[in-house]
Structure 1
Amino acid sequence: MQRFSISVVFYLLILRPFVYGQLDYRFYDSKCPNLTKIVRFGIWSAMANDTRIAASLLRLHFHDCISNGCEGSVLLDASSSFQSEKDANPNRNSARGFELIDTIKANVEKACPSTVSCADILTLAAREAVFLTGGPYWSLAMGRRDGLTANITAANTDIPSPFEPLENITAKFTTKGLNLNDVVVLSGAHTIGFAQCFTFKPRLFDFHGSGAPDPQLDASLATSLQGVCPNQDDSDTNLVPLDAVTTTKFDNIYFKRLVNNSGILGSDQALMSDNRTAQMVINYSKFPFLFAKDFGASMAKLSTVGVITGQDGQVRNKCNVVN
């Protein structure tokens, strides 16, 4: 009996790296062995012409998973039966990367017809985008199926806003099975990418009716941002890098900037207002390898939120429409 128990435990330990619920780390090994190469090449090619695309793909994956689960609903166009999540407030005129995902999907279909879901492609694309910008690489269990509908209400309510207090943002994470550490480390995705002026302009001129900038914002940075984002409506869509030091490199400079009161978004700088999250920020600012390790772990965790597996959902032929 003891030998049998030891054998079972050993078997489970061997199996564990390859199975996550109904997702499998070897899901496409025989079905589509070149999948990762196809996705990586597609992103690498796009990055040559669009330095923002890596951040856009990472954001697109997050918005998909945090609102309706990682089932590719953010990719769907509107239909007669549902509104598109592309039109939700957090996505409208800001979410990008749809055309690239469509292109990658088409290339995957040529190699492996009706095999790889759009949800899996988007999940892989987020990892490859991070990796190609110098960030960590993490193992991903595959086998997600695509959803059959979109949920604009969930997209409007579940995706965190840069204007929300930290406790609200944390609540949106915890309802999805994520925790406070995930909030901090996944915020580190802002080490790449840009923000439109309207997302932080209230911090620059009349913060909470004070007639002055947010006192938590470094004074010299506030002056610089006022030049790019003057107090007029036609500047609302101007872009500012979230990390002006290493804008296109995935590293831990974002956290160093928070420590120095140089976070662009109020929701980012708020991480320094809570003793628990502030200590995490300080640790990540000092130890880049810790950030890389934890970011990969949290991204893998995020990628399992609300997944559809087995015979549920479908593998879409095109990512923007249901079959």
Structure 2
Amino acid sequence: MSPSLEAAHVYILSLPAYGGGGGCLSEQHKMAVSPTVLGRRASFLILFSSFASSLAAGSTSSYNATRKKTPTHHPLSLDFYAKTCPQLDQLVSSVTSQQHRDSPVSGPATIRLLFHDCFVSGCDASILISSGPKGSPPVERNMPENRNLAPEAFDTVNKAKALVETKCPGVVSCADILAIAARDFVHLAGGPYYAVKKGRKDSRVSLYAKVRPNLPRTNATVDDLIRLFSKKGLSQEDLVALSGAHTIGFAHCDQFVTRLYDFHGSRRPDPQLDPRLLRALQMSCPHFGGNTDVVAPFDVQTPFDFDHMYYGNLEARMGLLATDQALFLDPRTRPLVQALARDKSRFFAAFAAGMDRMGSFGIKKGRKGEIRRDCTRHVTH
């Protein structure tokens, strides 16, 4: 955290906005935000814009992920804790609701944490394990790809687990709590409330070496993304729908700075990036020597609302990451982007179905799993 920014208690959020009429630029919009708005990481400088034109708001709906059957090789069920911890969802909800009010960054951070957990070796809470004593093997959390996972996400899961342990000791896995918390935050931000199947066990290992080959790279192509998702049993529609989680949340400059100055080694910006967004990003993300705490929103129009504006941004060349914008440029995924941009209800249903399938991947059973009392430490035997 930057002490100077923390002391200032004022953070400028600015990006030239589209004006009316012929698309002229309006004056910059600026906001002063207290550090409590984004939680402990509030020293981030955040760019965001309110655009004059936006898609009509729709009502939040509930969806069960039923479009495709989930794999049958796992023991997950909606009523897994019906007898052993019937109040589980309410307990987790009490924590996520408080986190959403006190530290809104907790929402996108927890959704991202779930993705980083599930994609490496299944939804098994292996990402939550902390480093052991000096000389212990490194864990997933130590990998560079995971070092900027926001602490608010870990705090949310740990707080929820501590509360659940007071009511249902030794019963509920950290993996299930993470999945429920991510769902809660989607809904709290205006997205769908979908049913979360339960019955996951926590992993008995956290393997550092498995992280890099199982997470998308910042320079991944659509081919790379399709292959990676396919290995997890996820379709191209799942790829596009789950990428829609970027309708909320932020990225550090180092995740997209090459698009601004040296795209694919060309020494020029990405020609697919809207020039107005390019200029705004370059102002806060210099090629070298910039503030590493600076972040920009994935969705430049409604960065705190879980809606389908992300897809409209891709159509307007306003995708922040090259991997996001590529989904619109590739003819295989463009029709899906366009369909979800038109229909928020379809996006919500597809997202819920994708989360259900992702949440069913790599489930640990029997002696391959455990139920941790402390999400950061393996059970000692």
Confirm or deny a common fold (TM above 0.5).
yes
Identity of aligned residues (%): 36
Equivalent runs, 1:3-22 vs 2, <5 Å: 21-22=74-75
Distance 1:197 1:233, change over 3 A: same
After TM superposition, the structure 1 stretch with the greater mean CA deviation from structure 2, 90-99 or 251-260, is 90-99
CA RMSD of aligned residues (A): 1.7
* Cα deviation digits, residues 254-290 of structure 1 (max 9, x gap): 0000000000000000101211200100000000000
Tell me which protein shows more helix as a share of its residues.
1
Q: 2:38 is matched with which residue? A: none
Deviation at residue 177 of structure 1 after TM alignment: 1.0
Deviation at residue 235 of structure 1 after TM alignment: 2.9
Equivalent runs, 1:48-197 vs 2, <5 Å: 48-79=101-132, 82-96=137-151, 97-197=153-253
Deviation at residue 193 of structure 1 after TM alignment: 0.3
What is the number of equivalent residue pairs in this alignment? 307
Q: 1:238 is matched with which residue? A: 294
Deviation at residue 180 of structure 1 after TM alignment: 1.1
Q: 2:376 is matched with which residue? A: 320
* Cα deviation digits, residues 31-77 of structure 1 (max 9, x gap): 11111111111011011121211000000001100011111100001
CA distance in 1, matches of 2:202, 2:266: 48
After TM superposition, the structure 1 stretch with the greater mean CA deviation from structure 2, 258-267 or 153-162, is 153-162
Q: 1:47 is matched with which residue? A: 100
Secondary structure of 1:299's aligned partner = helix
AA at the equivalent of 1:50: S
After TM superposition, the structure 1 stretch with the greater mean CA deviation from structure 2, 206-215 or 61-70, is 206-215
The gaps in structure 2 that reach 5 residues or longer are 1-68
Contact 1:198/1:237 (CA < 8 Å) preserved in 2?
Answer: no
Secondary structure of 1:65's aligned partner = helix
Using structure 2 for the length normalisation, give the TM-score.
0.78
CA distance in 2, matches of 1:84, 1:272: 35
Q: 1:285 is matched with which residue? A: 341
The gaps in structure 1 that reach 5 residues or longer are 1-15
CA distance in 2, matches of 1:316, 1:147: 9
AA at the equivalent of 1:61: L
Deviation at residue 162 of structure 1 after TM alignment: 2.0
Q: 1:212 is matched with which residue? A: 268
Deviation at residue 295 of structure 1 after TM alignment: 0.2
CA distance in 2, matches of 1:25, 1:82: 36
Secondary structure of 1:276's aligned partner = coil
CA distance in 1, matches of 2:193, 2:142: 31
Deviation at residue 21 of structure 1 after TM alignment: 3.6
CA distance in 2, matches of 1:313, 1:65: 15
* Cα deviation digits, residues 1-41 of structure 1 (max 9, x gap): xxxxxxxxxxxxxxx99x88411210111211111111111
AA at the equivalent of 1:272: F
CA distance in 2, matches of 1:146, 1:82: 18
CA distance in 2, matches of 1:95, 1:169: 24
